[in-house]
Structure 1
Amino acid sequence: MTARFRLARRVSQAVAALLALAVFASLPARAKQDGASDKAGSSAGGKGDGQEGGKSDKQKDVDTEHLFGFTEGADAGEKGEQEVVVDTVTRLSKRRDGPGPSTYRVLDTRFAYQFNPIDRFSVELSAFGNLRRQRNIVDLDDKSFGTFDGVSVELKYQFLKGSAEQPLGLAIEVRPRFTRVLPIEGNGANIFDMESLLQLDVQVVPDKIWYGSNISFEPAAGRQRGSGEGYRSSTFLWSNAVVGRIAEKTFLGPEVRYLRGYDGIFLNRLESEALFIGPALHHRFTEKAWLTLAYGAQVWGRDTDPAYARRALGLNQFERHNLRVKFGMEF
């Protein structure tokens, strides 16, 4: 069995485990829900109908867009809604180059404003900052700086909205971006990339458990400043998460992400692949303010460079650890 088939099997098993966890957890929840329905049915008919209608409204209030950690939910909002977001992804640890201490720490921070000109269509304007420190890392120069790292526009349209009656949510998002820093090397550059993202979520158990999945393709092209050397790369992502309501305003669950990094803008030559697993937490402080936390550790990966054929993990294009902290306010 080839390495590619073994990896596909591992990813499929991880996703199957997430879904199995959701189904297992749904059994007592469904029993409890059925019991509550029976109790409501034994009451006066008008009162029982009113209670069910009220619960359905509550279920529709859960916004899945920021529910899943690194994975994005399908919800896009309604006309007139606005939101501000501060989103920081910290990338930590790469392969050390020789003896002595080594450091690789990059904080990518996004400041965003989102608005909805029409129902189920959102426009998000973002500005990025890059703060990094890298020292004694294979194939990378020592650097320590913080700088402005470009802008982006995110356009999202939601085709289906999940509810208790129709649990599937589906959306497509495109994210054109101009960036001034190469994401791995940290060199100055003028780069344009265009991420295309398919977002899906399902209410596995209404108002209890949600499943989210993303498939993403992101080509990037440009030139490094100074040397004028060309830059071409592309990334494929498949992410999956299951979260459950553990308190009235708190959601927690596991997340699995599989990434492939390529040289060339059309997935031309594979350089690295990696599998990340970790928890995702979402909490709403109020109806309008929320926080999402997510952590991913690289548990499997490989580099195609022959020099690292026997080395664990895919560290040419990815890191050992990712941490996401995202805070938002709606108005």
Structure 2
Amino acid sequence: MTGHPTPIRRVSAAAGILLVLSVSAPARAEPADRPEANRKDGRHSDRNGAQQPGTDDGKKDGGKKDGGEKDVDTEHLFGFTEGADAGEKGEQEAVVDTVTRIGKRTGGPGSSTYRVLDTRFAYQFNPIDKLSIEFSAFGTLRRQRNVLDLDDKSYGTFDGASLEVKYQFLKGSKEQPLGLALEVRPRFTRILPVEGQGADIFDIESLLQLDVQLVPDRLWYGSNISFEPAAGRRRGGGSGYRSSTFLWSNALVARVGESTYLGPEIRYLRGYDGTFLNQLESEALTVGPALHHRFTEKIWLTVAYAGQVWGRDADPALAGRALGLNQFERHHVRVKFGMEF
């Protein structure tokens, strides 16, 4: 072995070089691979070194976009029909709501006037999610002259107060389009709504509210079913007063602008003598447009018109006369302005 040292040394040197190369090659390749597999920003480089967006960033951006969209508040969307939305905990709202009622049968020769403006000033708050409580005060302006079976009157006065409690069972959205709520509205009023005489009347309206998002973010349907019994006594030693009203309303509105909604509304009303739908006095069908516009996210306006297109009165003396004007009017106009805070 001492006679052949050179080949052994050469083989040992070659083996050592190969071992060093085999260990150092992966170590040198690792930095080049690391940006592809381990970059924390979710990006990778193309062959020219330009950074390209990774899938993680795309998901993140998409989530922000979806999360930024807010469902349309349907509560005031439909004109005379009320939407099912009730709001979230901590929300507050102030509303001025005026309904103008115009037109009755003429009581004799000459011109006839029947015009009543009922204005409600309301404050609403949400103590918890899906529950709203609203306090309202009412005022009325009235002018009636030469109207069948009614005395001539012209005045303005305070017309009582109400409490409205609403609970939302279902919240409509793109994924679940049905909204459903129940609202109860006890009210004390000082004026008979048709005759205009002074009285002390208590009524309580129960209102089932439903809305459906037919086309996501484009088309909505709203419907209400209402029962409202009333009882009290006329002032000045007058007789007792008992009445009740049944209402079924339907509305269809579409988004016609970024913050503007428009569509038709149809309502069917029945007025009774007696607190439990005892004796039919009048029925009427009204049709008209409803417009809702949001000036900002917190300030909005709703305008609606309802004209009586069919109706009848049960009084035999009015048999054959068009429309149901004993308990209802020819025209209704609603202007509702609100501010959320």
* TM-score, scaled relative to structure 2: 0.82
Matches within 5 A, 1:120-139: 120-139=130-149
The equivalent position to 2:308 in structure 1, one of 284, 298, 306, is 298
What SS does the aligned partner of 1:325 have?
Answer: strand
Tell me the residue number matched to 1:65. Answer: 75
CA contact (8 A) 1:97 1:137 kept: yes
**Range 58-67 or range 293-302, more displaced:** 58-67
Which amino acid in the other structure matches residue 212 of structure 2? V
- Structure 1 letter corresponding to 2:339: M
CA displacement 1:72-131 (0-9 Å, x = unmatched): 000000000000000000000010011101000000000000000000100000000010
Q: Distance in 2 between matches of 1:294 and 1:237?
A: 17
The residue correspondences of 1:252-271 to structure 2 (distance < 5 A) are 252-271=262-281
When the two chains are superposed, the root-mean-square deviation of aligned CA atoms in Å is 1.6
SS at match of 1:156: strand
Counterparts of 1:33-112 in structure 2, within 5 Å, are 53=63, 56-57=66-67, 60-112=70-122
* Alignment map for 1:116-265 (pairs within 5 Å): 116-265=126-275
User: Contact 2:169/2:179 (CA < 8 Å) preserved in 1?
Assistant: yes
In the alignment, which residue of structure 2 is the partner of 1:273? 283
CA distance in 1, matches of 2:316, 2:61: 64
Whether the 8 Å CA contact 1:195–1:218 is kept in 2: the answer is yes
Q: Are 2:323 and 1:313 aligned?
A: yes
Amino acid at match of 1:325: V
Give % identity.
78
Q: RCO higher in 1 or 2 (8 Å CA, sep ≥ 6)?
A: 1
Q: Which runs of 4+ in 1 moved over 2 A?
A: 43-61
> In terms of Rg, which structure is larger?
2
Preserved CA contact (<8 Å) 2:85 2:181: yes
Alpha-carbon offset, residue 60 of structure 1: 3.9
CA distance in 2, matches of 1:192, 1:60: 39
Measure, in 1, the Cα distance between the counterparts of 2:266 and 2:169: 25
Residue aligning to 1:39: none
Contact kept? 1:220, 1:232, Cα under 8 Å: yes
Q: Please, which of 267, 273, 284 is the counterpart of residue 294 of structure 2?
A: 284
Unaligned runs of 5+ in 2: 1-52
Is contact 1:78–1:119 with CA below 8 Å preserved after alignment?
yes
Q: Per-residue displacement from partner, 1:8-62 (whole Å, max 9, x unpaired)?
A: xxxxxxxxxxxxxxxxxxxxxxxxxxxxxxxxxxx98667756765565466431
